[in-house]
Structure 1
Amino acid sequence: MVDAVLAGHSGADMQVQAGSPVDVTLAFTPAGSAVLERYRAFAAAVPKGPAQHPVWVEAWGATSSSRLVMMEISHRGAVVLMMPLEIIRRRGLTIARAIGGTHANGNFPASDPSFARNLSAELTHEIDRSIRRSDLDADLVLVERQAHEIGGHANPLAALASTESPNVALAVDLNNGFGAVLDRVGRKRRLKKHRAQTRKLEAAGGFGHREAKTEAEVEALLAAFLQQKGERFRKLGIENVFTDHQRFFEQLFKRSLAEAETPFRLHALEVGDKLRAVTGSSHLGDRVICEFSSIAEDELLQVSPGDFLSFLNIEAAADQGATVYDFSVGDEPYKRGWCDLVSTQFDVAVPLTLRGRAYAALLIAASRAKRQVKSNERLWSMVKRLRRSKAAASGATAEADD
């Protein structure tokens, strides 16, 4: 991981030696319907992150006012990487970023695995140089929260890494089944707790593990999630990053119903005819990623409905053959109680203008500072207390963790 501004390299560093065998082209093209159809065909056969799934891209394009472009890399005449980006304005700059903004975690460009395996320093330099010299009307290409690998396949953009993302990602290894998970986390203690929760939920009217299978169910579960999450964010003094994207999430989960593998799914714990916890997850290959979750802060809060739903979701994922249940970015105690896999993600910031270079430097410095704060448990706890106190006193909200 390179913890430095890539823009700091001299022009000579980026040059490919004369007579080298590099044969790579890079282009940014408007992501119209024809390009998106070609992207869907390409992405179907290669590894990709959840936010690079065609359903995610198409849902965002249908509900966002952002202009979409496709970054496309070809090597020796064959397309080897396609990465949809959106053009946004931030603090007076024009930025090309991963589609989905802060909701896009574990980003991974749709790419030919053999390209990443054989990616040389020379090719990497040429890709970096091509981005910088492109005619893209932007100050900065910024792709944050990228996964280093998916399913054993390396991310070809890792060679361009500018800095490590502030938040770690936590996951559960399911390779040996749910029984092995219970053995690792303390089978006796975990099952005792689960039985106690089951008795309390039965006494409260019985419970059900629901999955949204129709558009009406998508609307119902998503509405419960937004209400629960909104209340939680208000109490924590955190900006509600879901408020402006309700239409996107509705489209994402509704469109997913029409896909053979149902890549995005909503689950809920229903107790006494009320939804007490909700999760939204992506299902790509043998990996299940919990993208978001919420709980109802009511009379059953002490029963830990979110933890109970996690138990059911992880058990179901293992039974369905998944090898990893990923809680995505963010380090929280409830995740640590399950997880045995810890990974980092990285950010790529390639400036195209002087203003983009200055902003990239600020972003990297801020990311480094966040990592230092979050790696200090005492300091991070203090920051969260101050944020809650400020919100309670003024009604203002702070920025979300990510």
Structure 2
Amino acid sequence: MARETSGQGVGEISGHASPGLAHVSNIADLAIVTTNNPAEIEQDWRALEAGGIESPGQSFDFLTQWIASFGIPQSAQLFVVVKDGGLPVLAFALHRTRLWGMKALAAFPGDHVGTNAPLVNLAYMRAMSPAARKALWQKVQGALDGADLAYLCCLPETLGGIDGLFADLGQSVVSDELHRAVFDSWEQCDRLQRTRSRRKHDKQQGAKLAAMGEIGFDIVEQSEDLPEILDCMFRQRNDRFRELGIPDPFNDAAIRRFYAAAFTGGKTLKGRMHVLRLNGEIVATRYNLVHGNRMFCLISGMSTAPKIQPGSPGKQCLLRVMQTEFDGGYAMFDMGAGMTDEKRHWCNEHIVLRHHYLPLTLRGRIFAASHSTYQRFKNIVKSNSRTFAAFKSLRARLKGRR
């Protein structure tokens, strides 16, 4: 059953409403609907989603498929929608779970997506002053209950051109960066992202791969071969994680079932895979979910066979992705968080992400203070290349001993 609260005079909205938006004179006029039944807010959620999403984690299809795939009980679900009259202006979903020994509210997909930002009406948010947005976030936090802490990981510092949109949502600490390629065409992408030496290098690697046999590049949306392609991708991904000496987040039957279902089961979120073959054998893959003209790459796989590494199949696959998709109507290729060489080469947008802590009890406040300090220490280690390399080496040795 949905619960709606309107609150009392928290603060006034200053500034001017955008054309076509109802002007709100007081935060108390906004209604917050909370429910554990997604069907009750689906219409409002999809209305917000029609304005575009920043992450698959904002997709109603993605979230409900995640819940179904993992059998999450309704009692453990919390959907929140903020409305101005009949206009939905904000929505997010949280999992009632246990983290760090506490009752917590956390984003369902966690680090399986680049950002877990709330889904917002950007035009509406632009019409609000910073003080009004602060009052809004205070009201939202006040509507959360039944936990010690709400933990919202990987929220962008800048969203839709609004700096600090989530700055007053609890307390926060820098976590990572989100990397995207955003271009009008392949010609623009090629001109801005590839130097002459880079083009020469790509051509040399392509020649080496071509010398090994026949190259094929396919875009797969619906195919009888999809289960086989997914199995190959997960196998290649597992081989890579094992080489790095780190746990494989996809090495779980439920996770793999979810990705298979999410690929084919959405109304507005659709699967799209890129597959590079050499002599008919899959040597590189990319798993993407598409919403409108935005493409989100969630998983990539590449053969670890030493004999084909000189041809850099992963890089050759990504080159073909860029050549194909930016001339095929797509405007953004989101490559997720965490810097890699391929993101450095291709991405022209780098968005700082922050972890947000919303303490709901004294225990939650104590934990938020300590965990955010730990996160800052991690950032210091990661920002120093020598220290981070030493840490990764130690981690790999410890993993080997276990």
Range into which the TM-score falls when normalised by the shorter chain: 0.7 to 0.9
Question: Structure 2: which amino acid aligns with 1:224?
Answer: C
Question: For residue 3 of structure 1, what is the aligned residue in structure 2?
Answer: none
Kindly indicate whether residue 192 of structure 2 is the aligned counterpart of residue 198 of structure 1: no
> What SS class does the counterpart of residue 175 from structure 2 fall into?
coil
**1:334-384 deviations in whole A, cap 9, x for unaligned?**
321223332211222211112222222233112212221111111111111
Of the structure 1 ranges 94-103 and 191-200, higher mean CA displacement relative to structure 2 is found in 191-200
Kindly indicate whether residue 323 of structure 2 is the aligned counterpart of residue 318 of structure 1: no
Q: Give the Cα–Cα distance (whole angstroms) in 1 for the partners of residues 62 and 12 of structure 2.
A: 41
1:182/1:44 CA distance change after superposition, 3 Å: closer
Kindly indicate whether residue 229 of structure 2 is the aligned counterpart of residue 209 of structure 1: no
Question: Structure 2: which amino acid aligns with 1:290?
Answer: C
Question: For residue 181 of structure 1, what is the aligned residue in structure 2?
Answer: 189
Shift of the alpha carbon at 1:210? 2.0
Question: For residue 91 of structure 1, what is the aligned residue in structure 2?
Answer: 100
Question: Structure 1: which amino acid aligns with 2:45?
Answer: Y
**1:124-153 deviations in whole A, cap 9, x for unaligned?**
344343344336322212211123455546
**1:40-76 deviations in whole A, cap 9, x for unaligned?**
3442345453211122112102112332211111235
RMSD over equivalenced CA pairs, Å: 2.8
1:15/1:156 CA distance change after superposition, 3 Å: same
Question: For residue 364 of structure 1, what is the aligned residue in structure 2?
Answer: 372
Question: For residue 40 of structure 1, what is the aligned residue in structure 2?
Answer: 46
Question: For residue 252 of structure 1, what is the aligned residue in structure 2?
Answer: 262
Contact 1:168–1:329 (Cα < 8 Å) also in 2? yes
Question: Structure 2: which amino acid aligns with 1:330?
Answer: G
Q: Give the Cα–Cα distance (whole angstroms) in 1 for the partners of residues 86 and 11 of structure 2.
A: 20
Partner residue of 2:286 out of 279, 283, 302: 279
Higher relative contact order (CA 8 A, sep 6+): 1
Q: Give the Cα–Cα distance (whole angstroms) in 2 for the partners of residues 219 and 275 of structure 1.
A: 13
Shift of the alpha carbon at 1:96? 1.5
Shift of the alpha carbon at 1:295? 1.2
Kindly indicate whether residue 121 of structure 2 is the aligned counterpart of residue 115 of structure 1: no
> What SS class does the counterpart of residue 384 from structure 1 fall into?
helix
Q: Give the Cα–Cα distance (whole angstroms) in 2 for the partners of residues 281 and 370 of structure 1.
A: 29
Question: For residue 16 of structure 1, what is the aligned residue in structure 2?
Answer: 10
TM-score of the pair, normalised by structure 1: 0.84
Structure 2 stretches of 5 or more lacking a match? 1-7, 14-24
> What SS class does the counterpart of residue 319 from structure 1 fall into?
coil
Of the structure 1 ranges 60-69 and 211-220, higher mean CA displacement relative to structure 2 is found in 211-220
Question: For residue 3 of structure 2, what is the aligned residue in structure 1?
Answer: none
Question: For residue 130 of structure 1, what is the aligned residue in structure 2?
Answer: 139
Of the structure 1 ranges 377-386 and 331-340, higher mean CA displacement relative to structure 2 is found in 331-340
Kindly indicate whether residue 296 of structure 2 is the aligned counterpart of residue 289 of structure 1: yes
Question: For residue 228 of structure 2, what is the aligned residue in structure 1?
Answer: 220
Question: For residue 10 of structure 1, what is the aligned residue in structure 2?
Answer: none
Kindly indicate whether residue 67 of structure 2 is the aligned counterpart of residue 61 of structure 1: yes
Question: For residue 35 of structure 2, what is the aligned residue in structure 1?
Answer: 29
Q: Give the Cα–Cα distance (whole angstroms) in 2 for the partners of residues 62 and 215 of structure 1.
A: 23
Shift of the alpha carbon at 1:238? 1.2
1:339/1:104 CA distance change after superposition, 3 Å: closer
Count of matched residue pairs = 377
1:342/1:388 CA distance change after superposition, 3 Å: same
Contact 2:32–2:81 (Cα < 8 Å) also in 1? yes
Q: Give the Cα–Cα distance (whole angstroms) in 2 for the partners of residues 319 and 305 of structure 1.
A: 22
**1:71-127 deviations in whole A, cap 9, x for unaligned?**
111235532111122222122212212221221222332222232112334433443
Question: Structure 2: which amino acid aligns with 1:39?
Answer: W
Question: Structure 2: which amino acid aligns with 1:250?
Answer: A
Q: Give the Cα–Cα distance (whole angstroms) in 2 for the partners of residues 341 and 121 of structure 1.
A: 24
Q: Give the Cα–Cα distance (whole angstroms) in 2 for the partners of residues 334 and 173 of structure 1.
A: 15
Q: Give the Cα–Cα distance (whole angstroms) in 1 for the partners of residues 387 and 60 of structure 2.
A: 40
> What SS class does the counterpart of residue 247 from structure 2 fall into?
coil
Q: Give the Cα–Cα distance (whole angstroms) in 2 for the partners of residues 104 and 381 of structure 1.
A: 25
Question: Structure 1: which amino acid aligns with 2:61?
Answer: V
1:45/1:373 CA distance change after superposition, 3 Å: same
Q: Give the Cα–Cα distance (whole angstroms) in 2 for the partners of residues 75 and 349 of structure 1.
A: 26
Question: Structure 1: which amino acid aligns with 2:256?
Answer: Q
Question: Structure 1: which amino acid aligns with 2:41?
Answer: V
Of the structure 1 ranges 125-134 and 106-115, higher mean CA displacement relative to structure 2 is found in 125-134
Shift of the alpha carbon at 1:253? 0.6
Kindly indicate whether residue 388 of structure 2 is the aligned counterpart of residue 380 of structure 1: yes
Contact 2:158–2:351 (Cα < 8 Å) also in 1? no
Q: Give the Cα–Cα distance (whole angstroms) in 1 for the partners of residues 377 and 250 of structure 2.
A: 25
TM-score of the pair, normalised by structure 2: 0.84
> What SS class does the counterpart of residue 169 from structure 1 fall into?
strand
**1:193-248 deviations in whole A, cap 9, x for unaligned?**
33333333333331212222225333222211211111111221211111231111
Shift of the alpha carbon at 1:285? 4.0
Of the structure 1 ranges 226-235 and 285-294, higher mean CA displacement relative to structure 2 is found in 285-294
